[in-house]
Structure 1
Amino acid sequence: MAAVPPVCDFGWPAPDFALPATDGRTYALQDIRGPNGTLVMFICNHCPYVLAVLDRILRDARDLQALGVGVAAICSNDATSHPADSFPRMRDLAARHAFSFPYLHDQDQSVARAYGAVCTPDFFGFNADLALQYRGRLDASRKAAGPTDLRRDLFEAMKQVAQTGAGPRDQTPSMGCSIKWKGAA
């Protein structure tokens, strides 16, 4: 079932975390923080919404990193009910697609809860002070990738954050598969 996150709560502070990554390291928020902003993405391996635009997520992450925005992705899904989202499968996906950012495993789902993550993909864009400035979509794609000339909502918003410290006031929420919570029916 598709889920839609709430609108951006401007200025909300980024919760800290320390999570294992597919590269064998453990990362805290300070480790991924960029000088011009930070993007925390909740994604997973099996979601058709994520898979439809994974190449665009990777492109935008690289382009934002070049602008001094730190980037990380987090998988918080219950791997018992969704084995495709297990840590070994996360490693495979990150290696196969040469992720330019850490792909973190939130096994106990505490980070997803702290962030209020709702779906995959769910994007949290923070300024250099780690104050939330963007909680919107990647682009107008849904369960299938839209045309290649779609406006790059996430990239344009985070470019603005990197340059000015403030995100756009008009934001369209992301849409995707709901987070697969442990113990959920």
Structure 2
Amino acid sequence: MQGENHGCPVTPVCDFDRPAPDFMLPATDGKTYSLNDIAGENGTLIMFICNHCPFVLAVIDKIIRDAKDLQPLGIGVAAICSNDPVAYPDDNFDNMRKMAEERGFPFPYLHDEDQSAATRYGAVCTPDFFGFNRDLGLQYRGRLDATRMNAQASDLPRELFEAMKQVAETGRGPAEQIPSIGCSIKWKA
């Protein structure tokens, strides 16, 4: 499966219990958030996404669904866009705000303009999912599901949701995880 990436970056395997890096980032809702503002009672999901990536666009409705379904389980959720907004204007703050409003994001959409959060987290692609337990130790670094870029793939196992549900209930993520695949983070020159 990892050999099928067609040149797209694949996330590394989960480094279990690695501490969640803190951040202080502006969001499309006009507020500024830290990790503690996002953290949930039973865990936290930090997602690196962007506006233009076909991998993200193929699963954005599922991301929204899973976030809505995880929040009642005590999982705090936020998305971060770290792409270079000059080279990729679709990912600038105004377009982030527009996407969050149009899609009705049920989570803060944060702008990592200096790319420091992506660097500290070790994010490599969009989408890139980091699932932490209540102690903010990493427990999931896998994919959302097997959609890839096929937005019509609807009856797939909900890998991210099930993993984070397990984290909420037990504090531990699944031992077997399939890496996420997507477009590379668009780093500044």
Q: TM-score range by the shorter chain?
A: over 0.9
User: What is the deviation of 1:145?
Assistant: 2.3
> 1:29 aligned to 32, 35, 47, which one?
35
> 2:105 aligned to 99, 103, 110, which one?
99
User: Residue 16 in 1 paired to residue 22 in 2?
Assistant: yes
Q: 1:144, 1:94 → 2: CA distance?
A: 22
Give the equivalent residue in structure 1 for 2:138: 132
User: What is the deviation of 1:146?
Assistant: 5.1
Write the mapping of 1:28-107 to structure 2, written as runs, cut at 5 A: 28-107=34-113
Deviations 1:49-72 (A, max 9, x none): 000110000000000001110000
Identity among equivalent pairs (%): 69
User: What is the deviation of 1:149?
Assistant: 1.1
Give the equivalent residue in structure 1 for 2:3: none
User: What is the deviation of 1:133?
Assistant: 0.1
Matched to 1:93, the amino acid is M
Q: 2:153, 2:55 → 1: CA distance?
A: 15
Give the equivalent residue in structure 2 for 1:111: 117
User: What is the deviation of 1:147?
Assistant: 2.4
Tell me, yes or no, if the aligned pair for 1:136 and 1:154 is still in contact at 8 Å.
Answer: yes
List structure 1 segments (4+ residues) > 4 angstroms apart after TM superposition: none
Give the equivalent residue in structure 1 for 2:4: none
Q: 1:144, 1:54 → 2: CA distance?
A: 12
Deviations 1:14-61 (A, max 9, x none): 000000000000000000000000000000000000001100000000
Give the equivalent residue in structure 1 for 2:177: 171
Give the equivalent residue in structure 2 for 1:156: 162
Could you tell me which runs of 5 or more consecutive residues in structure 2 were left unpaired when the two chains were aligned.
1-6
Deviations 1:64-112 (A, max 9, x none): 0011100000000001110000000000000001111000000000000
Q: 1:106, 1:2 → 2: CA distance?
A: 22
Could you tell me which runs of 5 or more consecutive residues in structure 1 were left unpaired when the two chains were aligned.
none
Tell me, yes or no, if the aligned pair for 1:48 and 1:144 is still in contact at 8 Å.
Answer: no
Q: Count residues in correspondence.
A: 183
TM-score after normalising by structure 2: 0.96
Q: 2:168, 2:151 → 1: CA distance?
A: 26
